Each structure stands twice: as structure tokens, then as C-alpha cells.
Homo-oligomer: A and B are copies of this chain.
Amino acid sequence: MTDKGILIVVSGFSGAGKGTLMRKLLETYDNYALSVSMTTRKPREGERHGVEYFFASKEEFEKKIAEDKLIEYACYCDNYYGTPREYVEEQLEAGKDVILEIEIQGALKIKERFPDSLLLFVTPPNAKELERRLVGRGTETPEVIAKRLSRASEESEGIEAYDYIVVNDDLEECVKQLHSIVINAHYAPNRCAEFINQIREELKEFSKGAN
């Protein structure tokens, strides 16, 4: 329906499976582009610059802020995270639905600046499953897991700010649901101004002709 892409914000509890979900979504459908965030946190094992994140120093990051080259940024666990503007705007213009995987502070800023953005919150079917997944990763210390669960509890207070909840129980089903939410979102009137105006003009002409 719309020619322009939708700016999609995907948030969710750490351990909800956002990463796998995004990977699968991008593999399966070709209407998406994934925005790569910039961060000042250290790369984890296996993370590559420009793929998982653009890694930057605090000074570099603050220069980007000063030059208004980030559409949002936030501080989380003592590190900056932000979204470079240029790539997002290029992809939206090209008709791609652009996914930002960011946490709630950033999501709210995006909604404020881009009211037509679509906010999705990914959650496992229940908290027990979230804990199981965090423990199952085997990469985090008990302190980190405790911190993430406590963080999840805080984050859950913000769910109402999102447009849809995406329950990640079965991966395949979840990818399909997410995709159908995005496809449908193209048919919300605020994203179809061109179509609406055209049909209005045509109807005006026809009812003139008919009278």
C-alpha cells in the first residue's frame, strides 16, 4: 500500500530471542533492512564491527550526538547505544521496512519523533521461560542473570507504550506473526495518505459526473 517503508522498533526482554527472530525474519522476507546500532560497549566474543554493532569510543559517539547524526541514543549499563540516521533514512526512502532493535528509552524517543513508527515488544510466553533461556545461554554469570531479570521487571512496566506484543514461543510462528503485523501496518490510514487522497479525488470526480 505505502511506497515508503515503516520504521519498526523491536524491543523485548534480554533473553526473549530477538536476535534469532530478526535473523530469521530477514532471511525469510526481502522487505526488511536491519539498522546497525552504534555503541561504546566492548565487543563480545564473535561480534564484528558493522555487523552486530558499530563499535565506537565515547569521544566518537559524543561527536555523532553533537552533529545530530543519530536519530536516538540512550545510556544503558554505563554505555551509549544509538541509531545512525543516514542508513535508516536511505532505506525508508527506498521502501524498506527498517528494523531498530533498541530498548524502551530509545523506543519512546522514536515514537515521539516518528509517530508513524511501529513499536513491537518481544516476550517469551512467561517469565519462567525467560529465566530458563538466560540460564541456558551459559554465557552469563549469575549476577548478570539476576541483573537482567531485574531489568526485565522494570522494562515490563513500559509494555503499554508498544503497538503490539510478539510472543516468541515457536520461532516459525513468531516470524510469521511479526511479518503479518508489519504488512498490515502498511494499511493503517496514517500510512496510506496517498491512496486515500487519490480515491477521494476520483470519487469527487465521479459524483460530479453523476449529478
Contact = CB atoms under 8 A, between A and B. Distances in A.
Interface of A: 1, 121, 123, 126-128, 130-131, 142, 145-146, 149-150, 152-153, 156-157, 159-160, 162-167, 177, 180-181, 183-184, 187-190, 192, 195-196, 198-200, 202-207, 210-211
A150 B184 contact: no
Contacts of A196: 156, 159-160, 165
Contacts of A190: 160
A13 to B, nearest CB: 8
Nearest to A152: B203
B195 A153 contact: no
Contact of A188 (B152, B164, B198, B204): B164
Given A165-B189, A187-B164, A210-B149, A123 B180 contact: no
B131 A206 contact: yes
Contacts of A160: 189-190, 196
A157 B200 contact: yes
A207 B156 CA distance: 12
Nearest to A179: B180
Nearest to A197: B156
B156 A200 contact: yes
Contact of A123 (B149, B165, B199): B199
A199 B156 contact: yes
A96 B163 CA distance: 22
